[in-house]
Amino acid sequence: MSSAPNLPTLAKSVTTAMTVTINHAICNACGICREVCPEFAIHPKYLEIRHLYEVDPRRCTGCGECLAYCPAPGALIQSA
């Protein structure tokens, strides 16, 4: 009866999905984030007096592409 050699076990890395949210107090509603989002996860919020945008968490992959183009620092927040 041969025994298997003692091999080190490799810990599985846990990947946490990042998401992006919009801080409406800072957002200037320019829509650039919507234009550059490769997943089409940002869309206008309807029935709002001010033209605001929202992020669909089901489509957002957290890639952060929108962060690089946002002209209002702090309007887009990337979180885990």
Distance between CA atoms of residues 46 and 79, nearest Å: 25
3-to-8, 9, 10, 20 alpha-carbon distances in Å: 15, 16, 20, 50
pLDDT tens column, 58-75: 999 999 999 999 999 999
Cβ neighbours for 39, distance < 8 A, ≥ 6 positions apart: 59, 60, 61, 63
Select from 3.10.20.30, 3.10.105.10, 1.10.443.10, 3.30.70.20 the CATH code of 19-79.
3.30.70.20
Give the pLDDT band of residue 8 (cuts 50, 70, 90): low
Position 7 scores a pLDDT of 54
Taking the whole predicted model, whether its pTM rises above 0.85 is answered as no
Give the pLDDT band of residue 18 (cuts 50, 70, 90): confident
Asked if residues 27 and 52 have their Cβ atoms less than 8 Å apart, the reply is yes
